[in-house]
């Protein structure tokens, strides 16, 4: 019997279903993704068992870096519509005799990350376009008693948005003296409820251990 | 699938073009998509950061107003020390006793350290909460998530045996310690805890403990 010769053909894989699937996954990821904004200082948040998610709006976040700089951020949630940010900056500018042009206010509103710029340097900061040049201005918000700009930022932020909540995002290595200073300033302004931003880490306590004793 | 219809050369009348669906090579497309998916998967922040709430006691601004007095028998002081150390002592120390300060006990953030100490003191409440949680998990009690939280809060409010923990920070502590100890409060189900300023004599107690810790941590007097 003659052998049946199979024609040697390069097997052609139909990739259509694969492409379909990829498209779906890609679309999903593109829609759900929220781009992480680079913060001016890298912060490793400590862990806790808390499962409460961070609120999306009405927050002011204090970023405490481990080199004792303090940054502040007003949320970029729905308040971009209500334009809290430019209002806060205008109030802050009037206090220090700096007048901001509408273009500068828009630039401030668009700035996606935390700010650690002294108010007198703000104009230069907003005029700088590249991110490296901007980073040079991020020296932290002054908070000593002679020039307590942080307390004024808090005051005006609460004036503009009375529902604002304080969130603290600190590095686990941040010295407690800085944290204490920020907490004191907040308490002076009658903010007694804080949200500490942490990462989730599950811990279980040993039930038997409790029951034995 | 898109089919490209080839123009048929009828006019020439020589040959009829073969009518077959040309196969589009999708490999580059797949390659590109793989890249994009990888990129998005890496940049997406799926796990949102969590928050831990803490309410601090209001600052006393009126000089005539006195700080609330709490039962000394239930008071437990925890001091966050340098180098991730923890110090604790029960009851209260009066400012007048500054040359006869009680020793502070040293412990750490491990499960056998501070957690066991807290659980021992908070046994009744911790057991109540754990039992309640167990019943919910095993389905004996059907309850919604919100009322579960408020039920636990009620258990905590009704408790009158557990310790009242005062957390204090020595100047060289760090923020991670602060969050850790608050987390420990949540894990052990401590009903009443707050963060207060450290007193000068407590700083002294910590300093003596650090100074004398290599030989014996209790020989402060």
pLDDT of residue A212: 47
Greater model confidence, B103 or A151: A151
Model's pTM, two decimal places? Answer: 0.73
In a mutational test of the A interface, the residue from B52, B133, B136, B169 whose CB has the highest number of chain A CBs within 10 Å is B52
Q: Is B14 on the interface with A (CB under 8 A)?
A: no
Contact (Cβ atoms closer than 8 angstroms) between residue B202 and residue B168:
yes
CA distances from B177 to A42, B109, B153, B183, B201 (A): 19, 9, 25, 10, 21
- Is B138's Cβ below 8 Å from some Cβ in A? no
Residue B166, token pair as written in the block? 């005062």
- pLDDT attached to residue A208: 53
User: pLDDT of B119-167, one tens digit each?
Assistant: 888 877 877 888 888 888 887 777 777 777 787 777 777 777 778 888 8
Helix axes A16-32, B27-43, angle to 10 degrees: 30
Give residue B16's pLDDT: 58
Sign of CA dihedral B155, B160, B161, B167: positive
| Domain regions of chain B by residue span | 74-93+103-122+162-210
**Domain layout of chain A by residue ranges:** 47-200
Share of chain B above pLDDT 70, in %: 78
Residue B106, SS3 per DSSP: strand
Show the DSSP H helices in A67-175 as ranges.
Answer: 79-82, 84-96, 102-110, 122-127, 131-135, 149-160
Q: What is the mean pLDDT of chain B?
A: 76
The H or E element that residue A213 is part of is none
Cross-chain Cβ contact A174/B55 below 8 Å:
no
Residues of A in contact with B81 (CB under 8 A): none
Over residues B59-83, mean pLDDT: 76
| Pairwise CB contact (< 8 Å): B49 & A199 | yes
Q: Cβ of A143: how many Cβ atoms within 10 Å?
A: 17
pLDDT of res. B35: 92
What pLDDT band is residue A199 in, cutting at 50, 70 and 90? confident
Residue B219 has a pLDDT of 40
| Minimal CA separation from A213 to chain B, in Å | 8
Q: Which of B22, B50, B206 to mutate to test the interface with A (most CBs of A within 10 A)?
A: B50
| Three-state SS annotation for B80-95 | ECCCCCEEEEECCCCH
For chain A, percent helix, then strand, then coil, each to nearest 5?
A: 40, 15, 45
For residue B51, the chain A residues in CB contact (below 8 A) are 50, 52-55, 167, 195-198
Contact check, Cβ <8 Å, B119/A49: no
**Taking 70 as the threshold, does the pLDDT of residue A76 lie above it?**
no
**Chain A residue numbers touching B44 (CB-CB < 8 A):** 29, 32-34
Quick one: pLDDT at residue A24?
92
Distance between CA atoms of residues A187 and A194, nearest Å: 10
pLDDT at B28: 87
Rounded to whole angstroms, how far apart are CA atoms A152 and A100?
17
**pLDDT at position B215 over 60:** no
Name chain B contacts of A11, Cβ cutoff 8 Å.
none
Res A116 pLDDT > 50: yes
Q: Cβ contact (<8 Å) for A197 and B50?
A: yes
Q: What is the pLDDT of residue A35?
A: 64
CB contact under 8 A, A48 and B33: no
- Tens of pLDDT, residue by residue over A10-64, are 777 788 888 899 999 989 888 877 666 677 788 888 888 888 888 877 888 888 8
CA–CA min distance A116, chain B (Å): 19
Please answer whether residues B80 and B169 qualify as being in contact, where contact means their C-beta atoms are separated by less than 8 angstroms.
yes
Contact (Cβ atoms closer than 8 angstroms) between residue B74 and residue B60: no
Q: Spell out the residues 6+ positions from residue B11 whose beta carbon is closer than 8 angstroms to its own.
A: none
Phi, psi for residue A108 in degrees, rounded to 5: -65, -40
Q: Where are the beta strands (DSSP E) in chain B?
A: 50-55, 75-80, 86-90, 105-107, 164-169, 192-195
CB-neighbour burial class of residue A192 (10 A; exposed 0-12, middle 13-18, buried 19+): middle
pLDDT at B9: 47
Backbone angles phi, psi at A94, to 5 degrees: -60, -40
Q: What are B46's two structure tokens?
A: 């799926």
Q: Are B121 and B163 in contact (CB under 8 A)?
A: yes
Q: What letter does residue B100 receive in the DSSP assignment?
A: S
Mutation pick from B111, B112, B176, B180 vs chain A, by most beta carbons of A within 10 Å, is: B176
Return the number of CB contacts < 8 Å for A and B. Answer: 169
Q: Using the predicted structure, report yes or no on whether residue B220 has a pLDDT greater than 70.
A: no
Q: Is the model's pLDDT at B1 over the cut of 60?
A: no
Residue of chain A minimizing CA distance to B177: A172
3-class state of residue A139 by DSSP: coil
Percent of chain A whose pLDDT exceeds 70: 87
What pLDDT, on the 0 to 100 scale, is given for residue A213? 44
- At residue B216, the pLDDT reads 43
Tell me if B216 sits within 8 A of B95, measured CB to CB: no
Give the fold, CATH level 3, of B74-93+103-122+162-210.
Answer: Nucleotidyltransferase; domain 5 (3.30.420)
Cα gap B182→B180, rounded to integer Å:
5
Residues A166/A191, Cβ–Cβ less than 8 Å: yes
| Percent of chain B that is helix, strand, coil (3-state, to 5) | 40, 15, 45
Nearest CA to CA, how far is B19 from chain A (Å)?
Answer: 19
């Amino acid at each position: 019997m003659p052998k049946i010769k199979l024609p040697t053909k390069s097997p052609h894989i139909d990739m259509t279903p694969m492409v379909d699937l990829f498209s779906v996954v890609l679309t999903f990821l593109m829609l759900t993704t929220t781009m992480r904004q680079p913060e001016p200082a890298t912060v490793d948040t400590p862990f806790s068992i808390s499962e409460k998610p961070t609120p999306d709006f009405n927050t002011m976040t204090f970023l405490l870096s481990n080199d004792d700089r303090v940054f502040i951020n007003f949320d970029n949630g729905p308040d971009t519509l209500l334009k809290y940010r430019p209002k806060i900056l205008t109030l802050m500018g009037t206090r220090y005799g700096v007048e901001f042009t509408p273009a500068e206010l828009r630039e401030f509103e668009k700035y996606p990350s935390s700010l650690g710029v002294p108010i007198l340097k703000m104009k230069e900061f907003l005029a700088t376009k590249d991110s490296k040049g901007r980073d040079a201005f991020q020296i932290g918000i002054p908070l000593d008693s002679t020039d307590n700009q942080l307390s004024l930022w808090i005051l005006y932020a609460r004036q503009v948005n009375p529902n604002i909540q304080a969130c603290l995002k600190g590095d686990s290595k941040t010295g407690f003296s800085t944290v204490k200073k920020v907490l004191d300033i907040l308490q002076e302004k009658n903010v007694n409820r804080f949200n500490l931003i942490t990462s989730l880490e599950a811990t279980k306590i040993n039930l038997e251990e409790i029951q034995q004793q | 699938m898109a089919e490209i219809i080839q123009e048929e050369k009828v006019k020439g009348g020589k040959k009829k073009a073969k009518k077959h669906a040309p196969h589009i090579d999708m490999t580059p497309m797949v390659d590109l998509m793989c890249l994009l998916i990888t990129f998005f998967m890496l940049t997406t922040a799926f796990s949102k950061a969590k928050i831990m709430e803490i309410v601090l006691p209001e600052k006393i601004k009126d000089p005539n107003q006195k700080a609330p007095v709490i039962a000394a028998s239930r008071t437990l002081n925890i001091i966050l020390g340098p180098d991730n150390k923890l110090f604790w002592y029960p009851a209260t120390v009066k400012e007048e006793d500054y040359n006869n300060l009680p020793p502070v006990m040293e412990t750490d953030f491990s499960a056998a350290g501070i957690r066991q100490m807290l659980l021992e003191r908070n046994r009744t409440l911790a057991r109540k909460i754990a039992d309640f949680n167990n019943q919910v998990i095993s389905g004996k009690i059907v309850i919604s998530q919100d009322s579960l939280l408020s039920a636990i809060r009620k258990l905590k409010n009704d408790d009158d045996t557990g310790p009242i923990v005062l957390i204090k920070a020595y100047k060289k502590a760090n923020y991670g310690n602060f969050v850790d100890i608050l987390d420990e409060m949540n894990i052990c189900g401590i009903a009443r805890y707050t963060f207060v300023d450290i007193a000068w004599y407590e700083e002294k107690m910590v300093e003596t403990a650090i100074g004398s810790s290599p030989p014996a941590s209790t020989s402060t007097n």
